[in-house]
Structures are given as structure tokens and as C-alpha cells.
Amino acid sequence: MSDSPLTTRRGFLRTAAALVPASALAGCEGGAKPAAGAPAEPGGASAAGPAAQRAAYKPRFFDAQEWAFVEAAADRLIPADAEGPGALEAGVPEFIDRQMDTPYAHGALWYLQGPFQAGVPELGYQLKLVPRDIYRLGIAAVNAYCTKAYGKRFDALDAATRDTVLAALEAGKVELDGVPASVFFGQLLQNTREGYFCDPIHGGNRNMAAWQMIGFPGARADFMDFVNQNGKAYPYGPVSIDGERT
């Protein structure tokens, strides 16, 4: 566990940034002041201030217990620290909940005809469950496991015990009813990464804090002034699809 993304946030974010394509960063739903000495925005435009504080988000797919689980799990996968905001501050649970209403979560783009048989990893996903089902079955099963093993639901456990449970799920060491533990963990981890680095229009990456942390410029339309300036740091903050700037 010493090198696990559950315990090393810096290593997790480096890995996550490498696994999320740049096109997805700008295409997935704000900001800090410019750094001292940073040049003005092109065309004389000034950076916009922070986005208005969001009203408390009310989940549309997850019920109260499921929502508590998603918040508790995301908080342990990317906890807040001195390097940047955690998953909760970045709005990752909101991103995940909103994704559950998309064709992706309904499996609309997947081939879901049988037979459903266990296969080698090289064959890819082989289950009949779509993401909505994976979450619904997985959360209920993990809460049942935690209640039996620790006397409490997952969200009521202390941080260290949550990490222990997540590590067991990742390693497939927990038997869950209805869904393999490693599949459920993989779904949760993937969507947490996506929510942390997506464009803010999708609910996550609030104030583009994750983009600022990794130096991603966002959905800027023109980079011609910086062509062939290899190795030179890009001096402007990120821009979201809807035009919000840091």
C-alpha cells in the first residue's frame, strides 16, 4: 500500500493526469488570482473572479445512503491537502451523479447481448451491468460488508478503515453480492479521476483547481503565440468551455 494511489496523493494525481486524455480534460462541469508577475490575458482581457458559490447540490440518481457513500469514498481517493483541493471540494460527487443520467451510464453505447462469460482481461469488460447498476449494486454490497465487518456503513467508518476497505476492494479481496469488488472499485476510481480533471461544465473540477495544479490551459482557442517555444512555461491560467477563467 505504500505506493498505492490511496496513500500517495501526488503519485495518484500524476498517474490520473496521464490516464485522462487532454481532449477529455477540456470536454468533460470556478478561480484563483494570476500568479505574481504573470502577463495580462491576450487582448487585454482580465481574468474573471471566482465563480459564484454553488448552491448545495441535490443528487438526482443516488439516494441519501448512496450519496453518503460516494462522498466518503471520493474523499479518500483524492483527499484535500497542501497540494490542492480534494474530490469533495472539486465537486467530484456531483460529477458522478450527473453522469448517471447520460447514455454512458445507461450503457447505450455498449454491446450488452449475451452470453456473459468470464474472460481474460485482454477481452475487456464482459459483464451485463451498466455503470448505473454497478454503482447501485456495489454501494449496497459494500455497505452490507462494512456493517457485518465493522458494525457501521462505509460512510460512518473512520478514514483509516475506509482506506482499508477501498484497498481490499481494489485487490478483489472482498466478496460482494451482485458485482465483483475490483470492477466496482475500478468504476469508482475511473469516475473520480474524470470528475477531478473534467471541464467544470460537467460538475467537477470546480474553479479549475485541478487544471491549475497540473498546468493544463483548458479550452483556450489560440496557442499560436507559443508555437515552437519548447520548454517555456505557459503563462496564462486555464479557461473552461463556457469561458470562465482563473
pLDDT at residue 98, rounded to an integer: 96
Q: Residue ranges of the domains in the chain?
A: 9-31+58-109+126-222
Residues 210/218, Cβ–Cβ less than 8 Å: no
Mean model confidence pLDDT for the chain:
81
pLDDT at residue 228, rounded to an integer: 86
30-41 confidence digits (pLDDT tens): 333 333 344 445
113-161 confidence digits (pLDDT tens): 777 777 777 777 778 899 999 999 999 999 999 999 999 999 999 999 9
Helix residue spans in 57-180 (DSSP H): 64-77, 92-99, 131-150, 159-170
Question: In which residue ranges of the chain is pLDDT below 50?
Answer: 1-7, 10, 21-40, 42-54
pLDDT at residue 128, rounded to an integer: 84
DSSP 213-230: HHT--BS-S--GGGTT-T
pLDDT at residue 51, rounded to an integer: 37
Residues ≥6 apart with Cβ < 8 Å to 39: 235, 236
User: Max CA-CA distance within the chain?
Assistant: 61
pTM to 2 decimal places: 0.76
Residues 240/209, Cβ–Cβ less than 8 Å: no
pLDDT at residue 96, rounded to an integer: 97
